[in-house]
Amino acid sequence: MLPSRALAVLSVASEAYPLIKTGGLADVVGALPAAVGREGVHMRTLLPGYPAVIAEMKDARAVHEYADLMGGPARLLVGHAGGLEVVAIEAPHLYRRTGNPYLDAQGRDWADNALRFGALSKVAADIGHGAAPGFHPDVIHAHDWQGGLAPAYLHYGDGPRPATVLTVHNLAYQGKFPATLLGDLGLPERAFSMEGVEYYGDIGFLKAGLALADRITTVSPTYAAEIRTEADGMGLDGLMRLRSAVVSGILNGLDTEVWDPANDPHIAAAYDVKRLKAREANKAALQERFGLNAAPRALVYGIVSRLTWQKGMDLVLAGLPALLAQGAQLAVLGSGDAELEQALRVAAEQHPGRVGVILGYDEALAHGIQAGADAVLVPSRFEPCGLTQLCALRYGAIPVVARTGGLADTVVDANEMALASRMGTGIVFSPHTREAYMHALDRTATLHAQPTAWRALQRRAMETDVSWQRPAAKYAALYHEVHEHRALLTGRAG
Ligand code: ADP
């Protein structure tokens, strides 16, 4: 048999590390092409032409022009940027705005976000129908609500189409817009139905993708199951149940070159699983940076997080007296809700030397916390996958996590039976209550007081495979499967 060409996939997203990032989505979109490339998949990434993207595309060349793309002229540029093969939509009326990709300078959603991300999805579909000469994707892989309409444009378009995959990184962001925009988005009247883009009387971008994509993935198997329930489905549980046969969960990986304690420019002392003692220097550096007492034996908890309701920071505040009663210290790096920021600031003022808080986003300091903290707290209410606990495992900072979503799938609870079998990589608690959380702190302190058991726990954590290798193989298999299925349907239709 002749060797077949690599499967061609177009990844469609509103952000990609290192070009533009507001959260974990960018990390995944940025890492996926190289990861699936090793599995024989040729991936290009379609991005809005924000200034940060266009500026990096030194070799850009135009392959297609639009006289009118959602209200203005536009061009499709192909080239390289940030280590990715990028297709960028140069459309100044939609994307020539600096700063946050979704919000204006006052922190409000851009008023034309429906058109901005409708255009992203529309262009993805056009490429699927052959708009970019020489590039005919076999699979269109859209991410989150910003790519949610791509399967809809393909579904309601004419002619053969590539297979579609939609990945849900966070069901909380749904892209809901007034029904009056249907015409502006270039969608036909018949698309506005329960089986299509209609969502409680509005247009639902994510809903449309969930209804019409050939396959759906979420970023962990447990999250895939949770969002079928009314409690966690955020209004979409009925649809998730209906489509459960095509839904699967694939965990995110971590860029193990960026996150490598043996080779990390951001930390005080390099270490690995055989040189755990070198972690002590990182702990001392962390204590100094956060204004904590220089106490080598104190149990230091770290937090690196958006400060929001989702992340369970209220639980951390409620459990602070218990944490301090253990003699432990707390170092928090984060930014988010003003109220939570203020409460943490007050906690640091009230407990000098015991609680240190740095508000802001600081990639280097995040590495410092993972390298120096004994344990990292991730008490999220829901967590589609979560990257912080993966970093913690890799750095031997024991993750203390809520049993939800990707946290439940990546951290193995070091309970008594697990420990007796030399298993366990962290502490997992449920339900999401102060009592259960405080019990987890107690268990952590008890283990930390046993140096041999603690070191064994750290070693197992650090030996966990958190790389992209397994997830990439799963995505590659999914692309092949969905492409073959589509080809079969098209063959039959023809
Ligand atoms: P989410 O995408 O919901 O914010 P994830 O855990 O999936 O949560 O990804 C967040 C990533 O951003 C993690 O790698 C985390 O370490 C990092 N991060 C979050 N807040 C900060 C911060 N204030 N400074 C540096 N890194 C941060």
Return d(Cα 422, Cα 409) in angstroms, integer. Answer: 19
Cβ atoms within 10 A of the Cβ of 183, count?
A: 9
pLDDT at 4: 61
| Dihedral pair phi/psi, residue 202, rounded to 5° | -110, -175
Q: Please report, to the nearest 10 degrees, the dihedral formed by the alpha carbons of residues 72, 107, 99, 289 taken in order.
A: -170
- CA 387 to ligand 1 centroid distance, Å: 7
CA atoms within 13 A on the CB side of 53: 33
Return d(Cα 107, Cα 22) in angstroms, integer. Answer: 13
* pTM greater than 0.85: yes
Minimal-distance CA residue to ligand 1 atom 2: 24
Report the pocket of ligand 1 as residue ranges, CB < 6 Å. 23-24, 304-306, 333-335, 361-363, 366, 385-388, 391
Instruction: Tell me which residues of the chain have a pLDDT lower than 50.
Output: 1-3, 492-494
pLDDT at 488: 87
- CA 189 to ligand 1 centroid distance, Å: 40
pLDDT at 133: 87
| Dihedral pair phi/psi, residue 72, rounded to 5° | -175, 170
Minimal-distance CA residue to ligand 1 atom 19: 305
Q: Do 51 and 23 touch, CB atoms closer than 8 A?
A: no
Looking at ligand 1, which atom is closest to the CA of residue 383?
A: 3
CB-based contacts of 242, cutoff 8 Å, min separation 6 = none
CB-based contacts of 446, cutoff 8 Å, min separation 6 = none
Looking at ligand 1, which atom is closest to the CA of residue 385?
A: 7
Per-position DSSP letters for 329-390, written without gaps between them: EEEEEEEE-HHHHHHHHHHHHHSTBTEEEEES--HHHHHHHHHH-SEEEE--S--SS-SHHH
> How many residues in total does the chain contain?
494
> Can you read off the two tokens belonging to residue 17?
């590390």
Q: Do 272 and 263 touch, CB atoms closer than 8 A?
A: no
Return d(Cα 9, Cα 24) in angstroms, integer. Answer: 21
CB-based contacts of 202, cutoff 8 Å, min separation 6 = 176, 177, 178, 179
* Buried/exposed 479-488: b ≥16 CB within 10 Å, e otherwise: bbebbeebee
Return d(Cα 149, Cα 142) in angstroms, integer. Answer: 9
Give the CA distances from residue 148 to residues 18, 81, 364, in Å, rounded to whole numbers and listed in that order. 23, 24, 33
Q: Please report, to the nearest 10 degrees, the dihedral formed by the alpha carbons of residues 434, 437, 442, 446 taken in order.
A: 180
> Can you read off the two tokens belonging to residue 287?
């204590």
Looking at ligand 1, which atom is closest to the CA of residue 170?
A: 3
- CA 362 to ligand 1 centroid distance, Å: 10
| Cα 227–chain centre separation | 16
Mutate to test the pocket of ligand 1, among 14, 220, 304 (most ligand atoms within 8 A of CB): 304
Q: Sign of torsion, CA 394 398 399 403?
A: positive
Return d(Cα 37, Cα 472) in angstroms, integer. Answer: 9
Q: Do 456 and 273 touch, CB atoms closer than 8 A?
A: no
pLDDT at 2: 42
333: nearest Cα among 364, 362, 355: 362
Minimal-distance CA residue to ligand 1 atom 16: 388
Q: Sign of torsion, CA 239 472 155 91?
A: positive
Looking at ligand 1, which atom is closest to the CA of residue 310?
A: 3
- CA 417 to ligand 1 centroid distance, Å: 32
- CA 360 to ligand 1 centroid distance, Å: 11
CB-based contacts of 183, cutoff 8 Å, min separation 6 = none
Minimal-distance CA residue to ligand 1 atom 26: 363
Cβ atoms within 10 A of the Cβ of 493, count?
A: 7
pLDDT at 65: 97
pLDDT at 494: 34
Minimal-distance CA residue to ligand 1 atom 20: 305
Return d(Cα 311, Cα 382) in angstroms, integer. Answer: 7
Minimal-distance CA residue to ligand 1 atom 7: 386
Mutate to test the pocket of ligand 1, among 29, 361, 378, 387 (most ligand atoms within 8 A of CB): 387
| Dihedral pair phi/psi, residue 162, rounded to 5° | -75, 170
Return d(Cα 31, Cα 82) in angstroms, integer. Answer: 11
Q: Please report, to the nearest 10 degrees, the dihedral formed by the alpha carbons of residues 399, 400, 404, 410 taken in order.
A: 20
Using one digit for the tens of pLDDT, what is the confidence trace for 71-100?
A: 999 999 999 999 999 999 999 999 999 889
CA atoms within 13 A on the CB side of 178: 5
pLDDT at 493: 42
